Amino acid sequence: MSKTVLVSGGAGFIGSHVTVELSQAGYDVIIADNMSNCDETNYNGVCAILGKKLPFIKMDFCDQAATDKLFSENKIDAVIHFAAFKAVGESVAEPIKYYKNNLDSFLNILQAAKDHGTHVLFSSSATVYGEPDVAPVTEQSPRKSATSPYGNTKQMCEDFLRDCVAAYGMHGIALRYFNPIGAHPSALIGELPRGIPNNLVPFITQTAIGKRECLNIFGNDYPTPDGTCLRDYIDIVDLAKAHVCAVNRMVEGRMDEPYEIFNIGTGRPLSVLELVNAFQQVNGVKLNYRFAPRREGDTIAVWADPSLAERKLGWKATRTVEETLAAAWAWEKHLAGK
Ligand code: UFG
């Protein structure tokens, strides 16, 4: 009998790609989202890719009664939690909004998971490493104190999961994502930033399509080979597949420890300038960019040691950055109707 996975925030960028991979791997998927930061584009795209309508529940996980009702009415084997606010700058300006939403929703999910014997996968972030002393970072690298309420909620939610697993005999996995980019090869789902994008790749594609005048590259005087920051850009479909491996590990009872953490990255650092050049080259477009002052709060160089995920989850990034940037561009053109 197939197992059921609940995806909170399943209509968003990462959630929609994970939903597709889970469904294609044979899981029954329930999508739940309050649609506070997205529209129906990705949900419709998911259904088009899969050729079927997936169950969708419009709800807010900050509503404890609704959360418990959902778990009571469905036999949910695992829950993956994406439903959270994610804008670093906004979290600095509105910490209460971030703490209320991101912490309450996860606590309600943990309570329901405890009550109903559900495995929990938490979407964490490389942000927990801050500016690492040594790169690449392993899961053993120290967490640095968070520089934003957003980052703080990622650390706190990891700790909530660890403590609930220890206290209640639950099983949980935290995946620490590096920089997820790209779009589904079908160009039917992708990133849909509201307003001016904060992240690099949507800003690049919007500049290339003419929605933005010029890309600012924040800082070219960093102590890196070309002076721009180094990151580990992970393809969104590769990232989504890591979730299938992690859910398999939980539901098949193959965990070594009841709470496990995995880095999800490529292990290859790329500079901002290298990424910009790769985008221009693979897509044959000229990008209008200029060097601008450093952006406050940016770390200089962060990339993953993903070997634990390879050993334990049997997962490894396979897509090239060229494939990923071609998919991101195809998605932007799809949105523009081109
Ligand atoms: N960058 C630019 N110009 C832009 C946008 C970004 O030069 O217009 C640069 C940044 O300075 C950085 C790199 O591109 O060097 C990547 O920036 P992103 O904003 O795409 O990603 P970050 O590494 O800053 O963000 C990641 C995750 C976030 C998380 C954050 C916390 O994507 O979800 O780390 O540090 F919150």
- What are the residue boundaries of the structural domains of the chain, listed by start? 4-182+233-266
Residues 66-92 as b or e (16 or more Cβ within 10 Å = b): bbeebbeebebbbbbbbbbbbbbebbb
Question: Taking the mean position of all CA atoms in its chain, how far away is CA 234?
Answer: 10
Query: Taking the model in full, what pTM does it have?
Result: 0.97
- Which segments of 101-202 are extended strands (E)? 119-125, 172-177, 179-181
CATH superfamily of 4-182+233-266: NAD(P)-binding Rossmann-like Domain (3.40.50.720)
CB 56 within 8 A of CB 31: yes
Kindly give the distance from the C-alpha atom of residue 62 to the centroid of ligand 1, in angstroms, as a whole number. Answer: 28
**Once rounded to an integer, what is the mean pLDDT over residues 283-311?**
97
Which atom of ligand 1 lies closest to the CA of 295?
A: 11
**What confidence score (pLDDT) does residue 303 get?**
98
**Once rounded to an integer, what is the mean pLDDT over residues 173-194?**
97
Q: Which residue in the block uniquely carries the two structure tokens 């999910």?
A: 109
Residues facing 195 on adjacent strands: none
Q: For residue 1, is pLDDT > 90? A: no
CB 67 within 8 A of CB 112: yes
CA nearest ligand 1 atom 32, residue: 179
Euclidean distance between the first and the last CA atom of the chain, given in angstroms as a whole number: 43
User: Of the residues 155, 199, 222, which should be mutated to test ligand 1's pocket, given the most ligand atoms within 8 Å of the CB?
Assistant: 199
pLDDT digits (tens, 9 = 90+) for 41-86: 999 999 999 999 999 999 999 999 999 999 999 999 999 999 999 9
Radius of gyration for the chain, computed over Cα atoms and rounded to the nearest angstrom = 19
Q: For residue 36, is pLDDT > 90? A: yes
Residue 143: closest CA among 199, 157, 193: 157
- Beta-sheet pairing, 259-264 with 172-177: parallel
Q: Which residue in the block uniquely carries the two structure tokens 């290859």?
A: 268
% of the chain residues with pLDDT over 70: 100
- Rounded CA-CA distance 80/264 in Å is 15
- Could you tell me the pLDDT band of residue 253, with boundaries at 50, 70 and 90? very high
pLDDT digits (tens, 9 = 90+) for 108-150: 999 999 999 999 999 999 999 999 999 999 999 999 999 899 9
Kindly give the distance from the C-alpha atom of residue 179 to the centroid of ligand 1, in angstroms, as a whole number. Answer: 8
Q: Which residues line ligand 1 (CB under 6 A)?
A: 86, 88, 125, 127, 150, 179, 198-200, 203, 215-218, 229, 231, 272, 295, 298
**What confidence score (pLDDT) does residue 289 get?**
98
Indicate if 43 belongs to the active site: no
Of the CA atoms within 13 Å of residue 315, those in its CB half-sphere come to: 27
Q: For residue 338, is pLDDT > 90? A: no
Taking phi over 0 as left and psi of -120 to 50 as alpha, with beta for the rest, 35 belongs to left
